[in-house]
Amino acid sequence: GGRAWIRLEQLIGSNTPVHPTCFNYFKRLNLHRTDRPHFFVTPDRKHSFHHLIMLPKLTKGIQELLDPLKGVTTDKRDMEIIQVIKNKLDLNEDNEERYSGDRNERGEMHGNGILYYENGAEYKGQFVANMKHGKGVLYYATGDRYEGDFVADQRCGVGKYFYTNRALFVGNYKDNKRDGKGLYFPPGRPNDPIEIFCIMGEVTEKSLQNIPASEQ
């Protein structure tokens, strides 16, 4: 069940992407158009988490779970209003994998394009024979982001990995994992990097346990 109006508020609050008029501000924070920035506060508004929290896109299953048209109302006429509001929402939906961009003579993704994944992830960059290959940006459904080199669908070469907690890793990648020397910038410390060394994604220095052990 669930009250229809509450479901509608949840759907709007959790799934409406950044409004275009605000995007120039959020772009300075290296956010994507479809990211959903949130600040959390207590009901009495006396306490808040000051860090900007990035929530990922909602999956089709969660959107269906929050569908206000499946909720209940005390007045049947409310459902007509809810239907109108829902139809006008700029929902951040990616319910199926789709591609927009260049193709070769065989119809494969080849050249520059954007690939939207069913789980809400998105890749924008270069393709070769249906594979991510060259320069590109991969936006994960969790809110993390990788910018850099790809080889045969894998992160390979030099890249930057932006974490949702605003930490940053800059360094080399091989077979989709961090490999070799790199710099880790802890959250809130953009000018204070830590030099690290990774082997197949794992940080070798035992003293650096606060650094994420692996990535997606």
Mean pLDDT in the chain?
77
Give pLDDT tens digits for 13-52: 665 555 444 545 555 555 555 555 565 555 565 555 555 5
Give pLDDT tens digits for 77-102: 888 898 888 877 655 554 457 899 99
Name the pTM for this structure.
Answer: 0.58
DSSP 3: B
Does the pLDDT of residue 73 top 50, yes or no?
yes
Indicate the helix (H) or strand (E) that contains 54: strand 48-55
Residue 93: the pLDDT is 52
d(CA 66, CA 184): 38
Does the pLDDT of residue 118 top 90, yes or no?
no
Residue 127: the pLDDT is 97
d(CA 125, CA 137): 6
Place of tokens 């508020």: 9
Q: What is the mean pLDDT of residues 98-109?
A: 92
d(CA 101, CA 210): 40
Residue 23: the pLDDT is 47
At a CB cut-off of 8 Å and minimum separation 6, what does 78 contact?
4, 5
Comparing 107 with 10, which gets the higher pLDDT? 107
Half-sphere exposure of 102 (CA within 13 A, CB side): 12
- Other C-beta atoms within 10 Å of 30: how many? 13
Largest CA distance in the chain: 63
Residue 105: the pLDDT is 93
Q: What is the mean pLDDT of residues 53-77?
A: 73
pLDDT band for 214, please (50, 70, 90 cuts): low
Give pLDDT tens digits for 152-198: 999 999 999 998 888 899 999 999 999 888 999 988 888 888 888 88
Q: Phi/psi zone of residue 108: left (φ > 0), alpha (ψ -120 to 50 degrees), beta?
A: beta
Query: Exposed, middle or buried: residue 57 (CB in 10 Å: 0-12, 13-18, 19+)?
Result: buried
22 is written with which tokens? 């605000």
